[in-house]
Structure 1
């Protein structure tokens, strides 16, 4: 038995499986023996098959299952192009009442995320009069920082209040660095002579949950801020990523969806003095370069392009 075969057999044994001579030969002749073995072992474990002898039939079953994945995933989806999108009914006058309505709606939506996570919220005034610890939610109005603490002024639709955040607690201080004006956040706090003192800050991110997904084993890749056309565009790194996407590596082959989440191009007139930062001075040049890059992506990958604030599209007001 060759050294490579011994390594494969040992790797399988470590995870509770044995390799037949035929299976070992197929894996060795695949051109990527370690990757293929790991894929088969993971497939068996996910299927609930434990302590099995891996023979030729099992290897062939795995290969067939991967072909079915490709057939399921590579499905042509007809493109729908809106040549002249209508913004009828989306305009605003820019009045203070419209801004207030928007901010309250935004606050209520973000508050509901915390409530769905089981956080028991209470009014700030009520907590400031109590002896225990509780949770308050509000929108950040302004922040003032000192050496050992920061004061966060908060508001909700009915009142304003302040929260003192001690910075001696390194964990709390690191979390507090992410708190910015206009964010909706929750503070776990207690009252000290009527002032709320924070012991934790919770951001409205989505709660982690275990997925019950039983579909094909595929990857979705999300990238953003490529900024083609800028003198600071990392062209070499972007090209390396595209080369990887088209390679035969296992994870690259499983990638079936690529989401470009904004700022594919750097745009023009986005900020004062931008012309000095541009290697490509027009949208036409930038999108031509972008199109050439996107054209190199394998056909098995569906590309979803979401515009950002550097793309030539309508600006939402107020900004979300």
Structure 2
């Protein structure tokens, strides 16, 4: 929008008044010239005053304020009946395909301006193997920008529901870090991990501590809960899993011909599991009959919002990169101002707002903005294009200017000040965000690299990032393995434990789009807003760009919109 490019935000009524004049661009120029130097937001009173005092500005009585030239298609109705949504003018044919499966209902909708000469097709597969297709059309950024500056976008009216909003943040450790980096801090972290995850497992096995099992006679039935200290194969092809609790360690043997052998390759070091079975005759080893993960109960029933309201789930904007997709972002922001996007009252951004500096080798050669503070200033400018009546929650990622060790506290005061124009909620990574009764676990997702590297390709891959997320839910921990790719900060409390089951698990980081349901929990990895970089080419990353999953909080159905 023209206002955003000039560094201003505006309330809904102000934009409506500007759109109602015969020459919106001239009106914007007149309004911004009269604005105070330190003003960030244009109000309706300022617009009225300008119109009344400037005779060159006239309004047409028959002028429509809903004149967006973006091609927007209404999503297919999924699940229960929804409030009627009217598409903006000049809408293209509906290309969304409803993927209604046992794992959840998802539609994919293309909202870019179409160029038939560059159209191709794309398919995504959810966790059940059902395929959802979308027409993937290229948009001209230059034409889109010209369209935005010449045509005013009609703003969605969310004012009537503002009093109904309910947003709570849990597990925000910003300002509460206790770690000093000493050995004792790590002991406290793992002790807390064990205590909290073992509580989940105690109802499933009649467990004994390691010290007590060591005193039991051979042939006894026994069960132990512990952190995985070691996993190794024997000469005979069996697997030896060493568990550790607060009293000591004890080995469990998983025989290769047992039905549970197929879960051995899912076990990660340092995660908490339970093993039950029978002690050997000499009582020196436990022959495992079953392996239990903390897991999400199969009986888990999600909660829903009691009204029709939506949240946009995005991540990995990467402002400052030469490959940042400004045109796609502006198309997304413009769509949020339309009548069709009126139910979207929340925006959840799962990290990597900027490209950062020095994150990977030779990154400086791919930067459009080389100063980290200027990157955040530019990101803040782009954020102003989002309607100011949308609630925004952001967590940091590994490209952001915070510590790399997880949990990551939110930004310091200097960076918060740079992003203060929209009054966003900036919290730590991970964070549990409850929106009108629906719990969304936001985690940037660095540990997904670890899971994908350690597990077999059929169980976790970059092409299906949501399947890797299933394993984090199964382990009830967002970064179970210590000492690998994921840096873990020692704290008195392990903030990475998934103590309460969320309705939605939202991640980013891997720049791939994927979604599906695991035991009624919707797992969503939301792709990115950065086209493929040279570094990504070198490591065979083919990103999914310009997607915005739109979640219905009253049904947990989802529409995936594409803006690039």
TM-score w.r.t. structure 2 length?
Answer: 0.36
Offset, 1:201? 3.5
The alignment partner of 1:39 has SS state of coil
Give the corresponding residue for 2:82: 39
The alignment partner of 2:185 has SS state of helix
Give the corresponding residue for 1:138: 226
The alignment partner of 2:393 has SS state of strand
Distance 1:313 1:278 in 2: 19
Residue 210 (1) aligns with residue 301 (2):
yes
Distance 1:192 1:138 in 2: 17
Give the corresponding residue for 1:50: none
Matches within 5 A, 1:210-229: 210-211=301-302, 215-229=306-320
The alignment partner of 2:387 has SS state of coil
Which of the residues 98, 105, 127 maps onto 2:192? 105
Which of the residues 191, 197, 214 maps onto 2:278? 191
Give the corresponding residue for 2:246: 157
The alignment partner of 1:199 has SS state of strand
Give the corresponding residue for 1:308: 397
- Cα distance change, pair 225–253 in 1 and its aligned pair in 2 (3 A): same
Offset, 1:306? 1.5
- Cα distance change, pair 68–282 in 1 and its aligned pair in 2 (3 A): closer
Greater CA drift, 266-275 or 163-172? 163-172
Offset, 1:235? 6.7
Offset, 1:287? 1.9
Which structure has the greater CA radius of gyration?
1
Report if the CA contact (8 A) 2:319-2:375 is conserved: yes
Give the corresponding residue for 2:208: 123
Offset, 1:303? 0.6
Residue 267 (1) aligns with residue 356 (2):
yes
Q: What 5-or-longer segments of structure 2 have no aligned partner?
A: 1-72, 85-156, 168-173, 409-488, 495-564
Q: Deviations over 1:268-291 (max 9, x none)?
A: 234565445645433134324422
What is the Cα-based RMSD across aligned positions, in Å? 4.6
Offset, 1:254? 2.7
Offset, 1:230? 4.7
Q: Deviations over 1:57-84 (max 9, x none)?
A: xxxxxxxxx9897243469x9xxxxxxx
Offset, 1:224? 3.4
Distance 1:188 1:156 in 2: 12
Q: What 5-or-longer segments of structure 1 have no aligned partner?
A: 1-30, 42-65, 78-85
Residue 72 (1) aligns with residue 72 (2):
no
Offset, 1:192? 6.0
Which of the residues 90, 95, 108 maps onto 2:182? 95
- Cα distance change, pair 161–73 in 1 and its aligned pair in 2 (3 A): same
Q: Would you say how many aligned residue pairs link Structure 1 and Structure 2?
A: 250
The alignment partner of 2:82 has SS state of helix
Offset, 1:208? 5.9
The alignment partner of 1:181 has SS state of coil
Offset, 1:189? 3.1
Distance 2:76 2:247 in 1: 62
Distance 2:334 2:325 in 1: 14
Offset, 1:259? 1.9
Report if the CA contact (8 A) 1:262-1:307 is conserved: yes
Q: Deviations over 1:140-175 (max 9, x none)?
A: 2233358965433321111112334467778863x5
TM-score w.r.t. structure 1 length?
Answer: 0.57
Give the corresponding residue for 1:281: 370
Greater CA drift, 277-286 or 101-110? 277-286
- Cα distance change, pair 303–124 in 1 and its aligned pair in 2 (3 A): same
Offset, 1:304? 0.8
Offset, 1:211? 4.6
Q: Deviations over 1:104-133 (max 9, x none)?
A: 123212223434xx3335126466857687
- Cα distance change, pair 98–68 in 1 and its aligned pair in 2 (3 A): closer
- Cα distance change, pair 188–139 in 1 and its aligned pair in 2 (3 A): closer
The alignment partner of 1:291 has SS state of helix
Greater CA drift, 273-282 or 301-310? 273-282
Report if the CA contact (8 A) 2:209-2:247 is conserved: no
Residue 318 (1) aligns with residue 490 (2):
yes
- Cα distance change, pair 276–216 in 1 and its aligned pair in 2 (3 A): same
Give the corresponding residue for 2:481: none
Residue 297 (1) aligns with residue 340 (2):
no
- Cα distance change, pair 226–95 in 1 and its aligned pair in 2 (3 A): same
Report if the CA contact (8 A) 1:189-1:198 is conserved: yes
Report if the CA contact (8 A) 2:354-2:400 is conserved: yes
Report if the CA contact (8 A) 1:224-1:260 is conserved: yes
Distance 1:38 1:215 in 2: 13
